[in-house]
């Protein structure tokens, strides 16, 4: 990595065009879509009278939405503060032994993450760049449901790994696309995210020097 940085810098030793950036991104919901989806409707005719069984359906997902302030320490190294948000909502219907809905509720959860992003800019040209980044931090998971202790909100560790990022633009206006994954958990029983944001796209505004 260091060799690549030095090699790229030797080919393009101009000063960074701007040390301060604002980055806004949108990431996919692959993990959430696979993990939480409509359940197959079951036959509840065998359950006891007066009881009901829940089914979750009509899931709706927001994309990962993020904002970042980034500061370029060196031509090949940047540090950033990231705030990332995503949410999922659905309907929960309770069925009795006559296959009738006895009651319904609207459920939801969200993940709000605060991350320190370390970005390695190992290839830079005037209008194009390639980089990788890793962003550890804190994730806050909350919503309508509770765990076995009755808690609505839990905090856990989070990490967002961008294996490859491509950026292109001119002047103060740049776009980017990144490939990687995001994960967060409190422990083995509380995995909030795993495999989110396989693809992330966004816009970068570079402040003038």
Residue 45 belongs to a domain: no
Q: If you search the block for the tokens 């206006």, which residue do you land on?
A: 173
Position 31 pLDDT exceeds 80? no
- Domain contains 58: no
Q: Does 18 map to a domain?
A: yes
Q: Is there a domain that residue 93 lies in?
A: no
Kindly state whether residue 55 falls inside one of the protein's structural domains: no
Query: Could you tell me the pTM of the whole model?
Result: 0.82
| 177: in domain | yes
DSSP string covering 8-73: HHHH--PPPS-SEEEEEEEE--HHHHHHS-PPPP---TTSPTT--EEEEEEEEEPPEEEEEEEEEE
Structural domain count, the chain: 1
Structure tokens at 6: 């030095």
Burial of 191 (0-12, 13-18, 19+ CB in 10 A): middle
**Span 19-35, average pLDDT:** 88
Mean pLDDT (the chain) is 86
Instruction: Give the per-residue pLDDT at 50.
Output: 79
Domain membership flag for residue 47: no
Domain for residue 157, yes or no?
Answer: yes
Tokens of 28: 């996919």
pLDDT at 134: 98
Q: Which domain holds residue 116?
A: 2-37+63-85+109-206
Q: How far is residue 197's CA from residue 203's CA, in Å, rounded to a whole number?
A: 16
Contact 56, 40 (CB under 8 A): no
Count the neighbouring beta carbons within 10 Å of the beta carbon of residue 118.
15
pLDDT single digits (tens) 129-165:
999 999 999 999 998 876 655 567 889 999 999 999 9
Q: What is the pLDDT of residue 148?
A: 55
**Which CATH number fits the domain that encloses residue 171?**
2.40.160.20
Longest Cα separation, the chain: 77
Name every residue whose Cβ is closer than 8 Å to that of residue 92 and which is 6 or more positions away in sequence.
54, 55, 56, 104, 105, 106, 107
């Amino acid at each position: 990595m260091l060799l690549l940085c030095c090699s790229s810098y030797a080919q393009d030793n101009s000063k960074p065009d701007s040390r301060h950036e604002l980055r806004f991104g949108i990431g996919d919901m692959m993990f959430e879509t696979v993990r939480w989806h409509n359940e197959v409707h079951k036959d509840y005719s065998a359950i006891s009278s007066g009881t009901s069984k829940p089914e979750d359906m009509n899931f709706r997902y927001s994309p990962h939405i993020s904002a970042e302030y980034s500061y370029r320490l060196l031509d090949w190294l940047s540090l950033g503060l990231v705030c990332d948000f995503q949410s999922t909502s659905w309907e929960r219907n309770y069925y009795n032994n006559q296959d009738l809905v006895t009651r319904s509720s609207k459920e939801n959860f969200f993940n709000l993450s605060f991350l320190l992003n370390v970005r390695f800019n190992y290839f830079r040209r005037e209008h194009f760049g390639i980089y990788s980044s890793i962003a550890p931090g804190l994730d806050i998971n909350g919503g309508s449901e509770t765990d076995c202790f009755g808690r609505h909100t839990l905090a856990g560790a989070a990490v967002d790994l961008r294996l490859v990022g491509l950026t292109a633009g001119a002047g103060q206006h740049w776009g980017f696309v990144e490939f990687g994954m995001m994960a967060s958990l409190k422990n083995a029983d509380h995995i909030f995210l795993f495999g989110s944001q396989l693809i992330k796209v966004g816009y970068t505004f570079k402040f003038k020097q």
